[in-house]
Amino acid sequence: MSQGERSTNTGHSGKRHRGELRYEGKAKRVYASSHPGEYIVEYKDEATAFNAAKRGQWAGKGATNNAITAHLYPMLEAAGIPTHFLEQLSETEQRVRAVTIIPVEVIVRNVAAGSFSKRLGIEEGTELSRPVVEYCYKSDALGDPLINTDTALALGWATEAELTRVRALALEVRDFLVPFFLERGVRLIDFKLEFGKLPDGTVILADEISPDTCRFWDAASGEKMDKDRFRRDLGGVEDAYAEMLRRVTSPALG
């Protein structure tokens, strides 16, 4: 092992060595793995909002988001949605399939909130009569601007077949998650997904699903339990994330 590498003993798949840092984002680090076709993702304690104009961090944030994603992705797989998730390796690390990320963020909205409410003048909390799928260009430099599918096609970011698949999978994720969270006392207001391509072109769900990437409102009180607590300085951010992990890992309410 060269400097900076370390080995991680995995539960049932043998030893993996964490290789060179491939990409450092705002919330995660992506490392090469000694196993071809895989990456090791490390979740960081850093939190950012408004394209990193606002920054914070707290101990346990990475572990919480890692645990939530590691709990949800196998359930999505079991529901027939292919994902990059392979195995949780440690409190903050997981083993994933390496993909080429499609540079389009996919937002699924069930209830008006955030930028949708602002852009259209629709009060936050307004139920949408059907889910709305929106697309943004993944570009920190441009602040992830809203696009449509024609833009993605014209600029070669994805093919028609890939976009059709992405939309179908995003709605399948919604159909699984909405009742899953409701059974745990949480309304899933909206969420952001990222998809990637395997070497053979198969489109799979990548990245994460966590309070960083979803809006969660307590079904009883309406209280926000997601990154809006950080974005809007509402306080109680750590507690909200911890409570979301507890809800995700609890059995359905009767």
Ligand X SMILES: Nc1ncnc2c1ncn2[C@@H]1O[C@H](COP(=O)(O)OP(=O)(O)OP(=O)(O)O)[C@@H](O)[C@H]1O
Among positions 61, 84, 95, 184, the unique one binding ligand X when judged by CB under 6 A = 84
Answer yes or no whether residue 38 interacts with ligand X by CB under 6 A. no
Strand 186-197 with 146-147, pairing: unpaired
Side chain identity at 68, as an amino acid letter? Answer: I
Q: Which two tokens stand for residue 253?
A: 């309410």
Helix (H) / strand (E) element for 67: namely helix 61-78
- Please report, as residue ranges, which positions from 95 to 134 form the binding site for ligand X (by CB under 6 A): 96-99, 101
Q: Which is nearer to ligand X, 52 or 252 (CB)?
A: 52
- The residue whose Cβ lies closest to Mg ion is 27
Q: Which does 180 bind (CB under 5 to 8 A by kind): Mg ion, ligand X, none?
A: none
Report the alpha-carbon distance of residue 246 to residue 195 in Å, rounded. Answer: 26
Q: How many residues bind Mg ion (CB under 5 A)?
A: 1
Signed CA dihedral, 146, 26, 165, 76: sign only = negative
> Minimum Å distance from CB 218 to ligand X?
25
Answer yes or no whether residue 31 interacts with ligand X by CB under 6 A. no
Among positions 30, 133, 153, 178, the unique one binding ligand X when judged by CB under 6 A = 30
Binding characters for Mg ion, 15-44, by CB under 5 A (x = yes)? ------------x-----------------
> Minimum Å distance from CB 141 to Mg ion?
15
Side chain identity at 58, as an amino acid letter? Answer: W
Tracing tokens 């490392």 back to the chain, one arrives at 31
Confirm if 215 and 191 have CB atoms less than 8 A apart: yes
Q: Which does 96 bind (CB under 5 to 8 A by kind): ligand X, Mg ion, none?
A: ligand X
Confirm if 7 and 1 have CB atoms less than 8 A apart: yes
Q: Which is nearer to Mg ion, 144 or 243 (CB)?
A: 144
Binding characters for ligand X, 137-176, by CB under 6 A (x = yes)? -x-x------------------------------------
Answer yes or no whether residue 192 interacts with ligand X by CB under 6 A. no
| Distance in Å from the first CA to the final CA of the chain | 51
Torsion angle of the four alpha carbons 133, 138, 144, 149, in this order, in degrees rounded to the nearest 10: -40
Q: Which residues are within 8 A (CB) of 33 and not within 5 positions of it... i.e. 6 or more apart?
A: 16, 17, 18, 19, 39, 40, 95, 98
Answer yes or no whether residue 39 interacts with ligand X by CB under 6 A. yes
Chain positions contacting ligand X, by CB under 6 A = 23, 25-28, 30, 39, 84, 96-99, 101, 138, 140, 194, 196, 206-207
Chain positions contacting Mg ion, by CB under 5 A = 27
